[in-house]
Structure 1
Amino acid sequence: MSACHPTLRCCLPCPAVDHLYPPNSVIDNQRTIGILRIISGSSAFLVSISYLVLPGKREHPRIFVLYISFLLAMWHWMGMSYFFGDKGRSVFCAKDGVARATLENNVFCAMQGLGMVWASIALTCWGLVVVLNLHLVSMFVPLNTL
């Protein structure tokens, strides 16, 4: 799949989206999102380190928060295509400079794609476990103490 028009026989260099908007607007947006991901990922990593190092003072198992904050940090850091170098072109584009990257023609795209899908599913499942645990603890533990 490339950015070549089938009938006009012209090709836009990859990433083609850069040529559909004003100059540097896509790069500026990617940079802004990357900075927000760095801040959010670092904050989630700080939360996971604090839950790992500091002693627990709650009845709620801290391993739940530790896992979900660590997975969230990994998810944010894997999504920063811009910071993989070459303004994200090493992730978005194939070696020829015209075709879009796929799992077959770009190792960085494959690693990021599989990592993001794995982290998204893991975050969803672990978030379900956390919410289910909080619900069970808040609804059924007080009934046993009566």
Structure 2
Amino acid sequence: MRLSIRNQFAGTVVAVAVGEVMSTVKVRLTGGQEVTAAITAESVRDLGLAEGTSVLVLVKSTEASVATGAVDRISIRNRLTGVVSSVDHGHVMTTVKITLDGGEALTAAITRDGAEDLDLADGTQVTALVKSTEVSIALPPG
């Protein structure tokens, strides 16, 4: 299956906490950073997710925010650190490509005003922020 979601990361499930309706799944990406997904308990069962399961982590580029400097005292679980590798300004929106510390490439689509306010440029150290409710989990093909 081909998807329009730009951010697709391979990883391994390292923890699953199953609730009555919702669950959290923590995944270690191949580069070493961890991502938490909040998905339904039904999805955890249907996908057979457990520690050691190989998965794909999916994040739409519009669901990734970008921060410079320290990110303290915030409820967003997913804070992926890296360096800006390119900035492409459109009239209203900007595409920011980030090379994560583990080597993966993440794309964030943010407003041009936001990108300009942050003075984003190649080489800028950033943290990509993604709410756990905006992370999807898929099983790899095959």
The TM-score normalised by the length of structure 1 is 0.19
Q: Which has the larger radius of gyration?
A: 1
Q: TM-score, normalised by structure 2?
A: 0.20
Higher helix share: 1
Which is bigger in relative contact order (C-alpha 8 A, separation at least 6)?
A: 2
* Greater share of strand: 2
